[in-house]
Amino acid sequence: MQTGGSPGLDYAGIDANARNKGGRQALAALSAQELSLSVEDGWLKAMWQPLGLVIFPGRFSEERWANVLHTMHALATSLEESQT
């Protein structure tokens, strides 16, 4: 998801820049989905990193991943707003 903001942030940088309520809620929701987040070259990236024994790719849930995309959009918007 393109952020239009910082060219690079790790999780701590994302945490520091997601200042509004929507961004904070989105960051918490994405963290609960076992996603590793970063911003690289202006793009918010999420990589699924489950804990424990998981059969890859596991069961696909359209609803879950559609929600993840919606939440990533909210976080990307928050990061973009923090850069202006």
Joined tokens for residue 28: 């918490």
pTM of the model: 0.84
Q: Does residue 64 sit within a domain?
A: yes
pLDDT score recorded for residue 52 = 73
Domain that holds residue 14: 8-79
Q: What pLDDT was estimated at residue 82? A: 82
- The pLDDT value given to residue 48: 83
Asked whether residue 2 is domain-assigned, the answer is no
Burial class (CB in 10 A: 0-12, 13-18, 19+), 7: exposed
40 domain residue, yes or no: yes
Q: Is 68 within a domain?
A: yes
- Domain assignment of residue 55, yes or no: yes
- Give a yes or no: residue 3 inside a domain: no
Which pLDDT belongs to residue 55?
67
pLDDT tens series, the chain, 84 aa: 888 767 789 999 999 998 899 999 999 999 998 899 999 998 999 998 777 776 666 678 899 889 999 999 999 999 988 876
Domain count, the chain: 1
